[in-house]
């Protein structure tokens, strides 16, 4: 019943938040719901009962689709990331002022329910249902509470995700029609064996939806505008959690279901990922808006994860597993810093900031640690994930261009260090100006929120072994399926 509780608690707290008249009451209710969800998440992490981690009942018997949810190793990583970060995201969100806050926090809780549903769904149609459930509140959050250009950004976001989801639905229905029992279960999907040409078009129909969500080049253009125009707390969910849906979905619904096409198109997708990394990194160098800079940084890091999947080595897949979690922690912390800076100064422009280290030393220290994690400095969580990814890419035996991919991806990491350190220099150091001169240090609550994520960054950077041991089972399962259907 644990997976059901992970969906039901934020869903109920979201419904109740809609009924609250006062903004503080709605925010507090959503935060309490997310803390309760975290408690259930920790229960899932510690229980040894398989029955507690799964649930199945009839849903749409006419088409043989069931409400089947379960938490395996891969799902647990994302459930834990969502459970840990959501209370902090909602807490930071509560420090801002919104029109109709009960609607805002209700939609934020609905997003958490949808995210949990995506990660635990073991039926393809149910997975699609929760996939769409996440997108609907995201659309309204951006369009109602976003920036001046929110409508254009939201329309672009909607069109990209709508067409991607439509193609995915067609692919899901086709695979179900070929399944032995014509069901939508994950087990039935993995048993389907399609002719290569048939599998190829089904692969691209489903993969395109996940590629848009990651996003990878050239279907990435919705992301910077949406991140810039959305409320920053919503951007935290979009960047830290929602884009991970794409990586998660590739690992669960593409690699084991269509392994032949995963092998056959691996170098093509890896090439697009590298192009996206370099393109996003070069664009980030030219940004004056912190939100757009962080948005392009996210594209580059996600591209490296997709590259790690499609070079298909055990080390690179291990790197993807840990980096999904680590990047979520780091990027959410980075967005929190952006939110605090914008709330305190009223600007996100790099050329209008400077000298914050003099006025906000606590923020400066925490910001530096988070930024170093973003560029994978040793002893931070980003290092172990990216080290495994680069090692796996370089030693891959299945890619014909593994050395080229490693060199180009490494160039992207160098560019990441340049624009991240440039951001630190312009925001924290130098002389104060009329905007930053009157600032005081951040509040104790903000310090504690950022410090909690910094502790995770350092702990996983210093001692990642338990995480690696836990994720190894998921890596072994993926490789066993891929090697079974590897083209000769």
Tens-place pLDDT, residues 35-91: 999 999 999 988 877 788 888 898 888 888 899 999 988 899 999 999 999 999 999
What integer is the mean pLDDT of 91-99?
85
Measured CA to CA, the distance from residue 162 to residue 156 in angstroms comes to 10
Asked if residue 447 lies in contact with residue 373, where contact means CB atoms within 8 angstroms, the answer is no
d(CA 384, CA 326): 9
Q: Do the Cβ atoms of 312 and 261 come closer than 8 Å? A: no
The C-alpha angle 291, 295, 300, rounded to 5 degrees, equals 150
State pLDDT tens for residues 160-189: 888 889 999 999 999 999 888 888 988 888
Residue 256 structure tokens? 């084991």
pLDDT band at 111 (very low <50, low <70, confident <90, very high): very high
Q: What is the pLDDT of residues 266-289, one digit of tens each?
A: 889 999 999 999 999 999 998 888
DSSP states of 224-288: HHHHHHS-HHHHHHIIIIIHHHHHHHIIIIITTTSHHHHHHTHHHHHHHHHHHHHHHHHHHHT--
What's residue 181's pLDDT? 84
Nearest to 56 by CA among 129, 123, 114: 123
In the chain, what's the furthest Cα-to-Cα distance?
69
- 215 upstream amide cis, omega within 30 of 0: yes
Q: Does residue 346 contact residue 430 with C-beta atoms inside 8 Å?
A: no
pLDDT for the residue 248:
93
The whole-chain average pLDDT of the chain stands at: 88
Cα–Cα distance for residue pair 284/303, rounded to 1 Å: 14
Q: Which tokens is 108 given?
A: 């934020």
| Number of alpha helices (DSSP H) and beta strands (DSSP E) in the chain | 21, 2
Structure pTM? Answer: 0.92
């Amino acid at each position: 019943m644990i997976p059901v509780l992970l969906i039901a608690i934020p869903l109920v707290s979201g419904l109740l938040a809609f009924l609250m008249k006062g903004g503080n009451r709605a925010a507090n209710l959503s935060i309490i719901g997310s803390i309760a969800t975290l408690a259930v998440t920790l229960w899932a992490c510690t229980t040894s009962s398989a029955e507690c981690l799964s649930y199945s009942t009839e849903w749409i018997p006419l088409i043989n689709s069931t409400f089947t949810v379960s938490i395996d190793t891969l799902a647990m990583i994302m459930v834990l990331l969502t459970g840990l970060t959501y209370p902090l995201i909602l807490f930071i969100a509560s420090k801002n002022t919104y029109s109709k806050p009960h609607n805002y926090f209700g939609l934020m809780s609905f997003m958490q329910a949808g995210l949990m549903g995506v990660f635990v769904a073991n039926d393809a149609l149910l997975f699609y249902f929760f996939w769409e459930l996440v997108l609907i509140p995201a659309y309204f959050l951006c369009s109602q509470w976003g920036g001046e250009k929110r409508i254009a950004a939201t329309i672009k976001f909607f069109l990209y995700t709508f067409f991607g989801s439509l193609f995915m639905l067609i692919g899901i229905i086709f695979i179900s029609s070929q399944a032995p029992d014509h069901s939508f279960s994950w087990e039935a999907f993995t048993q389907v064996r399609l002719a290569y040409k048939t599998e190829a078009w089904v692969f691209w129909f489903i993969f395109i939806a996940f590629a848009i969500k990651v996003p990878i080049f050239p279907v990435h253009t919705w992301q910077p505008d949406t991140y810039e125009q959305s409320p920053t707390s919503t951007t935290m969910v979009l960047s830290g959690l929602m884009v991970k849906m794409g990586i998660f979905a590739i690992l669960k619904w593409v690699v084991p279901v269509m392994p032949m096409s995963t092998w056959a198109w691996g170098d093509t997708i890896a090439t697009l990922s590298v192009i996206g990394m370099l393109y996003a990194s070069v664009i980030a160098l030219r940004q004056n808006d912190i939100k757009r800079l962080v948005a392009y940084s996210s594209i580059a890091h996600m591209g490296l994860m997709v590259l790690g999947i499609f070079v298909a080595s055990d080390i690179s897949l291990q790197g993807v597993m840990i980096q999904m979690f680590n990047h979520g922690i780091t990027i959410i912390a980075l967005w929190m810093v952006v939110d605090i800076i914008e709330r305190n100064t009223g600007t996100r422009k790099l050329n209008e900031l400077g000298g914050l280290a003099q006025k906000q030393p606590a923020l400066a220290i925490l910001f530096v640690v988070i930024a170093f994690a973003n560029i994978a400095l040793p002893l931070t969580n980003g290092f172990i994930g990216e080290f495994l990814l680069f090692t796996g890419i370089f030693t891959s035996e299945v890619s014909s261009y593994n050395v080229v991919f490693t060199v180009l991806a490494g160039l992207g990491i160098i560019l990441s260090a340049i624009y991240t350190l440039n951001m630190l220099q312009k925001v924290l150091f130098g002389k104060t100006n009329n905007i930053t001169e009157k600032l005081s240090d951040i509040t104790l609550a903000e310090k504690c929120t950022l410090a909690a994520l910094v502790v995770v960054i350092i702990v996983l950077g210093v001692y990642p072994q338990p995480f690696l041991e836990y994720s190894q089972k998921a890596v072994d399962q993926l490789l066993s399926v891929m090697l079974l259907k590897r083209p000769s």
